[in-house]
Amino acid sequence: MNPSDRHTIQTNMDLLCKDIDLNQNLLNQLINKNVFTPQMIQDFMSSPHLPLVRQCVDTHSQDMNPSDRHTIQTNMDLLCKDIDLNQNLLNQLINKNVFTPQMIQDFMVVVVDQMDAQTYEDERDRKKRFLSDLCRRGPEAYNLFAEVLYGVDQLAAAAILRPKVFESGLSQQQMIEDITNTPLDETVDVFPVGGDASDRTLHSPSTVASIETQEFMINVKKCKKEMKGKNIYRMNADPRGYCLIFNTFKFLNDCFPIRHGSETEANRLADVFTQLHFTVEIKTNESKEDMEATLKQYSKKPVLARHDALILIVLSHGQSGYVVTADGLSIHFNDIIKRFNNENSPHLINKPKLFFFNCCRGDAHDLGPKFVLEDTEDAVSDAKSFDTRKVPLNGDMMICYSTIDGYVSWRNEHTGSWFGTALCQALMKHSHSYELHQILTYTSNLVNNKTTTDGEKQVMEHSYRGWKNCFYFNPGVAESRGSPLSPN
C-alpha cells in the first residue's frame, strides 16, 4: 500500500473502526474488486473478528521488500513446481502469523488425494495465488516463509528463496547432519589417484575407520499414495524398467588410474534403484565395442513395451563430451543418449529416460569462494583429454552430469563419488514425495556443500530434452502387467 494511504488508515483507525459497517454488501463488493478472496473475507463476516482488521493493517500493511518480491516473481514457475502446500506447511505459516486461519483456507485443498480429478494446471494456479498473496503479507513474510520451508523439509523451494543458507548457522547443520549423520567439521581423507605412488597420501587405520562409519543403510521411504494424473508420467509398473549401470573402474594396461570406490558406489545405486522397483543390470569394465553392443541390445528389448521408464548410469573417467571405456577408448555422451531416442528405441516413446553421467568433463578445477562449507576431502578426479562433437537432441529425456562441462568430478576412494553418494541420499529420503526436479535440486545442494582439503568445489548439472510431465518414483506402488511378449 502507498505509505501515505497506509498512514491515513493508521492515524484514523479508531474513527474507521467506529464508522465502517462490514455488511454483506460491502464485503461482496471487495470480493468483486479482487481486494479479498471469498475465503479471506470470511475472517470479517462477524463482529467478534473486527479487531482482525486492525491486526491486518498494523501487522501486514507494508509491502514485501522489493528484492524479495522480485525473487518470488522471477522464480514463480520453479516455486510452483517445488512447493507442497500441505497441512503441515500451512499450519506453520498460521503459527508464525504470516496468514490467519481464515485466509489460509483458500489453500487447504489436498490435491494429492484428488489427483485423478484435478489437473496439474489447477494445482499450479493454487500455488501462484498463494505466492501472490504471500507477497502482500508484509516485509517479514519472505524470511518467515523460507524458515517454514526448511522446517518442513521442503529444501528445494527453500534454496530458491535463501540460496546462501548453507553457508552458515544451524539451518545448514540440521539439514546436512539429518541426511548424512556426519558433523560438518568432520574431515574425510582419501587417496589421490593421479601421479606416482610416491605422491599418494598415507592414512592411519583410524582414518579409514572413520571413513567407513559414513556408510549408510539403503532404505527408500515408501509413498503413501501414488502420484498420477494427466500431467504426470505413469510410474507404477512392476518392474518400472531397466536401471542399466556401466561401472568402469579398471582400464586396459593401466592406461587410466583405477577408480577406487566405484564398486561400492555401483552397488549402493543398485540397491536404491532396486527398491524403486527397477530391474538393475550392472555392466562392469566393458570395452567400447561391448558397451555399444549392450546399449543396442537393451534399446531394442521387446519387454520395454511393458516398462514405464529407463535409468542409465555411467561411472567412469571422462572429458568434455566423452566417457572412457575399459579399453581406454571413448564414447560420446550423446552417442549413449541417442541409442534410446524415439527412432532407436520405439518402445520407450513418450516414456521418461533418465541418464546420469558420473565422470569428469574436463581438467579445470573449481576453487570456489573463500569460505568453508561442509566436509573437506582429499578427493580424486577422473579427467583425460579428447575432442568434442555434437549429435541431435531427443525427447522425454533428463540428462544429469556430476559436474559442469570443462571441470573435474570428485570421488572418495572409500565411499564413492560426491555426486553418487548425494543422489542415493536424496532418493532414499525424498523419492516418496518429491518430484524429480526437487530430488535433483536437493542432490545439487549436497554436492555444492562438499569441499576438498585444497578448497576445491563441484557443481552438478542437469537438463531436459522434450520433457513433458512431472516425474514421481512412487516407491511402494507396483502394478504387474502381463503380456504375450517374451521376457527378454
How many Å separate Cα 325 from the centre of its chain?
A: 29
Residue type, 91: N
With CA atoms as reference, report the closest residue to 218 among 420, 355, 82.
420
Separation between Cα atoms, residue 143 and residue 427, nearest integer Å = 28
With CA atoms as reference, report the closest residue to 443 among 421, 413, 469.
421
What is the residue whose three cell numbers read 540428462? 399
- 313 bridge partner residues: 245, 356
442 CB contacts (<8 Å, ≥6 apart)? 155, 156, 426, 429, 430, 434
Angle (CA) 59-37-116 rounded to 5° is 120
With CA atoms as reference, report the closest residue to 225 among 479, 482, 474, 426.
474
Residue 306 near residue 485, CB atoms below 8 Å: yes
Q: Strands, DSSP E only, in 95-219?
A: 188-189
Pairing of strands 461-465, 397-401: antiparallel
Q: What are phi and psi of 118, to 5 degrees?
A: -110, 135
Pairing of strands 416-417, 451-452: unpaired
Separation between Cα atoms, residue 68 and residue 43, nearest integer Å = 27
Separation between Cα atoms, residue 413 and residue 377, nearest integer Å = 10
DSSP state of 162: -
Q: Does the annotation count 360 as an active-site position?
A: yes
Q: Does the annotation count 56 as an active-site position?
A: no
| Helices vs. strands in the chain: H and E counts, helices first | 19, 15
Residue among 359, 360, 400, 424 flagged as catalytic: 360
Residue 340 near residue 307, CB atoms below 8 Å: no
Cell numbers describing residue 112: 494429492
How many Å separate Cα 321 from the centre of its chain?
A: 24
Three-class secondary structure assignment of 417-448:
EHHHHHHHHHHHHHCCCCCHHHHHHHHHHHHH
Q: What are phi and psi of 316, to 5 degrees?
A: -170, -175
Residue 408 near residue 379, CB atoms below 8 Å: no
Separation between Cα atoms, residue 207 and residue 194, nearest integer Å = 21
> How many Å is the maximal CA-CA distance in the chain?
91
List the 318-319 sheet strands across, edge first.
318-319, 322-324, 330-332
Residue among 317, 414, 430, 437 flagged as catalytic: 317
**Residues with a known catalytic role:** 317, 360
